[in-house]
Structures are given as C-alpha cells and as structure tokens.
C-alpha cells in the first residue's frame, strides 16, 4: 500500500472532528466505559484526556455503525487504538484471501468460508473508517484498502467453489493447492473495483467468463449449468446477510446481454458479442476492467484481446454522445436539476463523481487506441495521463483530481453513518451537520459552500466537454428545414448569416434532413446534424463565398458512407468545424481526400497537433505505435497506407492553417516518406526471407533522388528511388526453401517494394514510385548492384545524371552499404569537371525542357523561365563545378536552398544569391500550398476564394494582382541570373 507501514490511529490530531452534540458524546463515553470493563487496554485509554480519546468519542457520535461495531467486537477497537494500521489490515486481507484453504487437513465448509470473509471485511471496514476519519488515511488509501479486501474475498470464494467443484466430480482442476491456476475461469472487477476505487459501502460489479478449452470440466456440455450454479453460490457467499452481516453486494449485470446470457459467459461468445454488438457504454466500462480472481493470466490475455474493442484504432468521437446520453438518462431518471446540497446525489448528480469519471473515460475512449498511456484504470491516473498528453491542461487535471477526492470523501462519510449504499446527502440540517463534522468542517454552512464550489467546478468542466452550447439562440432567427416549402424566417436567417442564395442553401439542407444521403439515413445521424446546424451554418456563413463552401461540404457529405461519427466529432470540437470550413473554402483536393478517407480526420483531434512540428522523431513515434499491432504482411502495408494518408493530410492541414511554412511542410512530407519507405522495406525483406531465405552476404539500401533526396516533397509528390544491393559473390543462390539466384532475388525484392509502396489498394497507395533515375533508366534492371552503380557513375553517367546525384540521399538500408553508397556519391561529386562542358549540358537540358514542357502560365512555378527548375539547375551546376573552382563542399542531404548557400556564397554575387533564395522561398511556399489544395493548374479566376486569400497571405501581398507582380519580378531576376551564371559559361 502507498501509506507508510507503521501509520497509527494515535497520530490523530486534536479536534480533527467534532462530536455531533454533547448528549451523544456522553452516551458514547458511557458505552466505552462498559467496553473497557472487559478490555483493560481501553480502560487505560479512557483514564486520561487525549486527542485519540476525543476522536473516538466524536467518531462514534457521528457514525452509529462504527459505534455498534465496537460494541459487538471490542477487540477491533483495541486493535485500532493500539496497533499499527497497515500490518493489521494486511492480516485481515490475508485472512480473507486464505479463507478457502484446508486447515488441519479439513476443507472449510461454505458457511465457515462465509463467516471468515464477513469477519475480515467487518474488521477492515472498521479500521479503515477510523483511519479515514482521523485523516491518517487519505480517500485514495481508503479506496485501495477496500478494493484489496474485495479482491481477496472474491478470489477466496472462487477458489473455494473450484475446489468444491472438484470434490463433487464436476471439475478436474490442475492444482488443488492453487485452484484458480490454469482453470480458464476469469473474474473481472469492473467499475470502481477494477480501478481500485471502491466505496466504503459499495456494491461490487464483476463479470465472469470461462474458457471451454481449459479442460477442467468433466463434461464440457455442462459448462453453462456448472458455471451458472457456481456463480449463484458466489453471490450467496458474498452478499447473503447472516448473523455476521454480509461481505459485498454483488452485481453481474455488466456481462454481455445480461437479459439473455448465463451468469458466466464463454470466452468465444463474449468475443463474438463485443466484436459485433458491443456498445460504447460497455467500452467505457471496460476501461477499468481488471482480472481480480480466478485464472489471472487468462484474464490478462482476455483483456489484451478486448483492447481493440475498448480502444479503437481510429480516434472515436462518436463515443461522446453515447456516454453523454447515459448521463442525461441518469438525470431524467433521478430527477436531478440544479445543484443543491440537501439531498444531492454526489455520485450521479450534477457536478458529481460520475461526471468526473465520464470526463476522463470519454477522452480515454477517443484517444486510447492511439495513445496507450491514456488507458489508465484509476481516475486520478487517467486525468494525469490526459494532462501529460495535452488533451487537458495540468490545471484542469489538478482541479478535477482535487474535486474527485473531495467528493469521494463526502461519499464515504455518507455511507459510514449506517453502512448503507447511498450517495445522497441528508435532507435535514441536523443530518447535514453530521456529514460536515465528519469532514472536519466547523458547521454545515461552510461545508455546503465548499461542496457547491466543487460541484459547480465539475459541472463547468463537464459541460464544456459534453454539452456544447448552440452558437445561435432562438432569438437569432429561425432555422427550420422540415416540410416541402422554404420557411420565410429561415431564409432571412440564412441571408443574415452571409449566404447569397438562401433558397438554394435551404433546399440543400432539406436534402440532408430527408436522409437522401447515406450519411444522414439514420435517425441518430439526423438528430446529431440538427443539433449541429446552428454552429455549422454560422461557421460557413462567416467564410468568403459561403454558398460555394457549403456546397462543397454538401458534396463531401454525399460521398460519406455514414455520418454519425462525423457529426458527433464536429459537434464536440468547435475548432474542428473551423478547420472544415477552411478546407471547404480553400482546398478542394483536401475536401476530396476527407470525402474518400474520413479516418484522416482522426489526427486532427490531437490537441497538440498544431503545436507539434512534423519532425522525424514525432512521426516515427506515431508510426511505431500505429503499426505495432500488425501481425501479417498485408495488415502491415494497410496500416502504412492509412498512416501515409492521414499524416500527409495532417501536414497539409498545418500548412493550410499557417501552423508551418512551406519549407517545414516539405521537410515533414519527406520525413514521412523516409519512414514509410523504411517500414515498407523492412516488411518486404521479412516477406522475401520467409519465402526464399536470406542471401549470403546480402545487403540492401534505398536511395532517394530528386525532391525526396533534397527534403522538398510536396503533398502530391511521387518518390524517385534507386535500390542498391550487394552480396557474397561466391554464393549462387539464397538459403531458403525456395532458393533464388542473385538477380531474381534482388529483382523480386525490388518489385515487391514497388508494389508495397504503389499498388492501389482499398486504403490507397503509400507513394507513387519512379525508378527512371536508376542507371540505364527504364531499360535497365530495377535493382542495381553497388559496384555497377559506382562504375556507371564514374565512367558512363551523363551530366544530367550527375546533376541528379547532387540531390541523392540514402533513405534506409544496411548501414555498411549505406556508407559505401555515400562514399560513391562523394567521390563522383568531388571530381573536377570541365566547367564549359557542364554549363553547356545544363543549358541544353533547360532549353530542351522549355521546348518539350512549356509552362502553362505564370503560376506554373516549376516550369516558368526563372522558376524552380532554373533555381535547382543553378544550384546543381554550381555544385558540379565547385571542385574545379577549388571549393570543397559537402552538400549531401541538403535542400536546394541549403546547397545554394553552401556553394553560392563563394561562386555567386551576393545580390544574385539573395534574389535566388528569395524566389525559391516564395515559389516553394506557393507551390506547396497550391499542390496541397488543388489538383491540376491554379487559375486565380476559378480558384476558391479561400485559396486565393491563403496564397496572398503566404506571399505577404494584399491581393492576387500584387502577388502576380512579385512572381514576375522574381522569376525575371532568376532567369537573368541563370543566363549569367550558366548559359554564358557554356
């Protein structure tokens, strides 16, 4: 336990609690004197005034249950005031856990087990209650000790029943000294028991499963009857009231479909149920589920199997509405309205314990699939994990944690009065004062003030998460979309919101409400959409060309397979609605992506997404988590495809919103490509080796060329790759069941890699792959041996191929081969070349491109004279001639801009270098945004207004005309520099 082992009740401070009144205090003192007649140690305590004596008297006036327990079991009171608490509690837990064990060769009867459990539970409850009231224990300590006792009692009862089943001939348990081991009987503690947060007078919620394959049933056909009878006996052992009281009221109604299933459910039936019919409330319940009895190892394995059900692979905002609907039903059922103190239910009422639990659990459901640290069972740990993950602030976590434990303290005191399972505060002033005194408050008024403060704090946090207020109240106008005719008031409201064609917009929205799209066919989807409508229309109305943006959203809805997830997600995340409006008004390409792949939304819900740069480490951590559960080759590739689409989309969203620059986006896209290519290569190598074995001395590396090599990929880029390999020349074939010679082995590996990256599947492609930059181009082999690559680059490669080599970068592969390839690149680029020939070749190539692929217009930043190709050619030309100019420059892994700086500071005039870098910065920023937002050419006249505004902001220009002037000015300057630096030297 967390508390120090030697903590004692006589640590109690003076006046920690006050007696209910002096009459009660005198009555308790008289009762204690009667007990002391048979307990000398108590007589010593009562002789002198002390804080401990005052505390005991006060406690017994406040809790009739504790007073009655001391009268029936004086030895418990002696233990409480004379012994360290934790050792005494440990003994009680141990006595309960071992209640089933034979003694003196005799197996205890069921009644003897029941008596032992009740005695232990009563003793622990008494000691824990006193320690809690004395503030020797915190509420957290109290809940843990009560949970430990429940674990022990249930486990002991299960062991007893298993042993009894063997003695009756129904079971054959593997180890009578440890009946539960390998029994296949799983008992999960749910709710507060699972989270080790049990109430002072709590019911315990358990679910029981059995594995028919465990082999302990004498007759497997009797499984349901045997285990059903066993569970009925379990309930009797734990909750039947006897002369010794009861242990725990026991509830098994959290099992699958409790109205039609037996008390113990087979594992297969349970898994089929949860995979096919499991509800969101059941997912929430299983967050806290914990194996507490029976076959613990089997229970832990079952929990692992349930993880995909509880914590979805995709972020799951649809769960919020379901969880909140449960909360609303509780309010309706209980009749809870405004916060009050008298009669308030501190568990289920507004601002109560359940709201804090739901606050944590819904966010755990939403993100726990992607973020394993959020899967904490305990409420406090869950709040801390949410804060660590930046789903909530540390201040909110601390506030709700304090509120949670305060309310748990209140709940415990309510239950301590008469050992009743109630959460309602008293309805009278006198009884409310009792609770106030038990908590250490001087009067009911100060307690009430603090309680109201806590309840309102919780209600505020809960409301912000679950009960988003409509942005438009009824006073702002009508929004009615039922019937066949337009509502005149609604048309006025739409016009006031900013829509130019309100009748058309009204007709479109009525289409949604008629359920003509798959996304709005279900009643629940339409209900969510109705709730969302005011905020949605207000957000679209505030965008430029609101009609166009909303019609694009309509097109998006038309393609959605279902709408409930989306509407729930938007309704509970106002910033996400703003992002959707931005996408619909600025980026048709992104709108098409989310229409075809709605799961790409998931990552947008990570609160840290906009503040986290898409660095290699950031992406690597998420990729590792996302693919870690994939077991088979195709599943691994599918997860890579999903991750590729989602992260490209998220990098694009950062760029669109201005959270990152075009250069940062290019880096992000490239880091993503590096990681995906490496993961795909690793999966392919494992697959090839499984089929054909390893090749002796075999080594593989992947080299990125072009924009991949220079960290300048865009949202729509393909990847230029060269696969290099090497092997032991003396080896004739691979060492597998189906051996291949070297050519076929490495060719097949390359072909599998290309297919893995670019084959169109349901989840899309990872990347389109271009291999034309390999030696011999498309006519040569798809994979190149390292010695052939080196020979070709040294002896046969043309100038344009050496230009391409200036942007070559090893992406992944075997370390020694990576180093060897880098050495080849450095060696080739270090060679001194004839400056005139290189200049002539570069100028000729640029002229050929200009002739065969002329630019469409001024917005074709790559191909315009003085555009990106001119800048790239200048950088590549200068890099190739640098050795001849006496300049040693290692530009491996540098971008075009970085390469220009590395060689241009020596080989260019400062003004020319500055102009090229300025143009490169602007063209990169604009082309990144345009490639992200639209497929095909950019035409300012046809482009969405939001996109035009976005690129004007990117170019720091007030309007598109000014921006066009800047593009012309800079491209003209670059073309002049290209002529001067390159053409004139040829």
pLDDT band at 478 (very low <50, low <70, confident <90, very high): low
pLDDT band at 773 (very low <50, low <70, confident <90, very high): low
Of 521 and 421, the structure prediction assigns the larger pLDDT to 421
C-alpha 701/C-alpha 786 separation (Å) is: 9
Would you say residue 357 has pLDDT above 80? yes
In this prediction, residues 79-83 reach a mean pLDDT of 91
pLDDT in tens, 925-936: 999 988 888 878
The SS3 of residue 717 is coil
Give the model's pLDDT for residue 472: 29
Give the model's pLDDT for residue 1: 38
Would you say residue 101 has pLDDT above 70? yes
pLDDT in tens, 231-281: 999 999 999 999 999 999 999 988 887 767 899 999 999 998 888 667 667
Would you say residue 548 has pLDDT above 50? yes
pLDDT in tens, 391-404: 899 999 999 999 99
pLDDT in tens, 871-885: 999 999 999 999 999
The SS3 of residue 779 is helix
In this prediction, residues 860-867 reach a mean pLDDT of 92
User: Based on the number of CB atoms within 10 Å of its own CB, is 543 exposed (0-12), middle (13-18) or buried (19 or more)?
Assistant: buried
pLDDT band at 914 (very low <50, low <70, confident <90, very high): very high
Would you say residue 723 has pLDDT above 90? yes
Give the model's pLDDT for residue 598: 67
In this prediction, residues 161-171 reach a mean pLDDT of 93
Do residues 262 and 136 lie in contact, with contact meaning Cβ atoms separated by under 8 Å? no
Do residues 707 and 780 lie in contact, with contact meaning Cβ atoms separated by under 8 Å? no
pLDDT in tens, 685-711: 999 999 999 999 999 999 999 999 999
pLDDT band at 320 (very low <50, low <70, confident <90, very high): low
Q: Is the dihedral of CA 771, 777, 778, 784 positive or negative?
A: negative
SS (H, E, C) 51-106: HHHHHHHHHHHHCHHHHHHHHHCHHHHHHHHHCEHHHHHHHHHHHHHCCCCCECCE
In this prediction, residues 728-743 reach a mean pLDDT of 90
Do residues 810 and 701 lie in contact, with contact meaning Cβ atoms separated by under 8 Å? yes
Give the model's pLDDT for residue 3: 41
Do residues 459 and 356 lie in contact, with contact meaning Cβ atoms separated by under 8 Å? no
pLDDT band at 291 (very low <50, low <70, confident <90, very high): very high
Would you say residue 171 has pLDDT above 60? yes
C-alpha 859/C-alpha 869 separation (Å) is: 14
pLDDT in tens, 895-905: 999 999 999 99
C-alpha 554/C-alpha 877 separation (Å) is: 50
Give the model's pLDDT for residue 592: 77
Of 774 and 56, the structure prediction assigns the larger pLDDT to 56
Give the model's pLDDT for residue 469: 33
Give the best-scoring range by mean pLDDT among 317-321, 509-513, 975-979: 975-979
pLDDT band at 594 (very low <50, low <70, confident <90, very high): confident
Share of the chain above pLDDT 90, in %: 56
* Integer CA distances (angstroms), 211 to 73, 220, 269, 302, in order: 43, 10, 10, 10
Segment among 28-42, 311-325, 746-760, 946-960 with least mean pLDDT: 311-325
C-alpha 482/C-alpha 475 separation (Å) is: 19
User: How is 310-360 classified by DSSP, letter by letter?
Assistant: HS-SS--THHHHHHHHHHHHHHHHHT--S--STT-BTTTSTTSHHHHHHHH
Segment among 83-92, 201-210, 454-463, 489-498 with least mean pLDDT: 489-498
C-alpha 604/C-alpha 865 separation (Å) is: 39
In this prediction, residues 640-667 reach a mean pLDDT of 89
């Amino acid at each position: 336990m967390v508390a120090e082992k030697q903590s004692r009740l006589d640590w109690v401070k003076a006046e920690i609690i006050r007696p209910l009144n002096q009459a009660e205090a005198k009555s308790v003192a008289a009762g204690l004197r009667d007990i002391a007649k048979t307990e000398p140690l108590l007589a010593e305590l009562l002789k002198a005034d002390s804080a401990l004596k005052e505390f005991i008297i006060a406690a017994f006036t406040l809790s009739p249950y504790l007073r009655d327990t001391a009268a029936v079991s004086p030895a418990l009171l002696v233990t409480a005031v004379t012994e360290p608490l934790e050792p005494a509690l440990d003994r009680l837990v141990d006595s309960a856990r071992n209640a089933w064990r034979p003694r003196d060769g005799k197996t205890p009867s069921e009644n003897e087990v029941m008596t032992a459990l009740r005695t232990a539970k009563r003793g622990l409850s008494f000691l824990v209650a006193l320690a809690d009231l004395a503030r020797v224990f915190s509420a957290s300590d109290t809940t843990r000790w009560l949970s430990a006792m429940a674990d022990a009692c249930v486990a002991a009862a299960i062991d007893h029943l298993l042993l009894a089943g063997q003695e009756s001939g129904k079971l054959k348990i593997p180890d009578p000294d440890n009946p539960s081991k390998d029994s296949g009987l799983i008992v999960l503690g749910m709710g507060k028991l699972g989270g080790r947060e049990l109430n002072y007078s709590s019911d315990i919620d358990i679910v029981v499963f059995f594995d028919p394959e465990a082999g302990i049933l004498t007759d497997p056909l009797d499984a349901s009857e045997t285990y059903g009878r066993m569970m009925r006996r379990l309930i009797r052992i734990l909750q039947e009231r006897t002369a010794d009281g009861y242990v725990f009221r026991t509830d098994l109604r959290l099992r699958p479909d409790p109205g039609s299933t037996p008390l113990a459910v087979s594992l297969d039936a349970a898994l089929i149920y949860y995979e096919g019919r499991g509800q969101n409330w059941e997912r929430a319940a299983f967050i806290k589920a914990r194996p507490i009895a029976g076959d613990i190892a089997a229970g832990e394995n079952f929990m692992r199997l349930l993880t995909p059900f509880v914590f979805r692979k995709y972020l799951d905002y649809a769960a919020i509405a379901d969880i909140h609907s449960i909360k609303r039903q509780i309010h309706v059922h209980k009749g809870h309205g405004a916060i009050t103190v008298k009669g308030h239910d501190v568990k289920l009422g507004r601002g109560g314990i359940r709201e804090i639990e739901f606050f944590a659990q819904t966010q755990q459901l939403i993100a726990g699939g992607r973020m394993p640290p959020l899967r904490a069972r305990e409420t406090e740990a869950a709040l801390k994990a949410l804060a660590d993950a930046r789903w909530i602030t540390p201040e909110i976590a601390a506030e709700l944690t304090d509120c949670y434990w305060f309310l748990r303290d209140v709940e415990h005191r309510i239950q301590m009065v008469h050992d009743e399972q109630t959460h309602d505060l008293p309805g009278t002033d006198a009884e409310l004062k009792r609770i106030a005194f038990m908590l250490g408050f001087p009067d009911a008024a100060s307690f009430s003030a603090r309680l109201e403060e806590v309840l309102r704090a919780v209600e505020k946090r809960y409301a912000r998460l679950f009960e988003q207020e409509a942005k438009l109240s009824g006073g702002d106008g009508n929004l009615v979309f039922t019937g066949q005719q337009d509502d005149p008031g609604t048309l006025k409201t739409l016009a006031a919101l900013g829509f130019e064609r309100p009748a058309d917009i009204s007709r479109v929205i009525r289409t949604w409400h008629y359920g003509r799209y798959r996304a709005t066919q279900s009643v629940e989807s339409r209900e969510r959409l109705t709730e969302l409508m005011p905020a949605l229309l207000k957000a679209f109305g505030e965008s430029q060309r609101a009609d166009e943006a909303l019609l694009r959203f309509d097109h998006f809805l038309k393609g959605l397979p279902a709408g409930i997830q989306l509407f729930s997600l938007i309704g509970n995340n106002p910033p996400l609605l703003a992002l959707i409006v931005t996408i619909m008004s600025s980026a048709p390409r992104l709108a098409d992506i989310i229409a075809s792949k709605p799961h790409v939304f998931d990552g947008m819900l990570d609160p840290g997404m906009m503040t986290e740069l898409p660095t290699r480490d950031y992406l690597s951590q998420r990729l590792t988590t996302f693919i870690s559960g994939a077991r088979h080759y195709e599943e691994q590739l599918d997860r890579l495809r999903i991750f590729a689409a989602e992260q490209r989309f998220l990098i694009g969203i950062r760029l669109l919103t201005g959270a990152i620059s075009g250069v940062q986006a290019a880096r992000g896209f490239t880091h993503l490509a590096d990681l995906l290519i490496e993961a795909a290569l690793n999966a392919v190598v494992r697959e090839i080796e499984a089929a054909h074995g390893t090749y002796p001395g075999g080594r593989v590396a992947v080299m990125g060329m072009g924009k991949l090599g220079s960290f300048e990929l865009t949202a729509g880029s393909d990847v230029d790759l060269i696969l290099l390999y090497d092997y032991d020349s003396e080896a004739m074939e691979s060492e597998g069941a189906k051996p291949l010679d070297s050519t076929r082995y490495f060719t097949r590996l390359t072909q599998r890699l290309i297919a893995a990256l670019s084959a169109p599947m349901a989840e899309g492609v990872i990347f389109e792959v271009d291999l034309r930059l390999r030696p011999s181009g498309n006519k040569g082999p798809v994979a190149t041996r390292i010695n052939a690559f080196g020979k070709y680059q040294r002896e046969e490669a043309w100038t344009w191929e050496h230009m391409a080599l200036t942007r070559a970068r090893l992406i992944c592969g075997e370390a020694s081969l990576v180093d060897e390839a880098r050495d080849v690149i450095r060696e080739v680029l270090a060679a001194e070349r004839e400056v005139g020939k290189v200049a002539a070749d570069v100028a000729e190539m640029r002229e050929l491109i200009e002739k065969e692929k002329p630019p469409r217009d001024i917005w074709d930043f790559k191909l315009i004279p003085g555009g990106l190709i001119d800048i790239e050619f200048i950088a590549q030309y200068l890099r190739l001639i640098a050795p001849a100019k006496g300049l040693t420059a290692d530009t491996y892994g540098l971008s075009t801009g970085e390469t220009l700086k590395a060689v241009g500071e020596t080989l260019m005039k400062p003004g020319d270098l500055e102009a090229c870098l300025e143009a490169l910065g602007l063209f990169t920023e604009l082309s990144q945004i345009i490639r992200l937002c639209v497929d095909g050419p950019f035409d300012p006249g046809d482009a969405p207004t939001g996109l035009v505004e976005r690129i004007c902001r990117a170019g720091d220009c007030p309007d598109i005309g000014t921006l066009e002037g800047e593009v012309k000015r800079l491209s003209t300057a670059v073309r002049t520099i290209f002529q001067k630096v390159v053409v004139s030297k040829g």
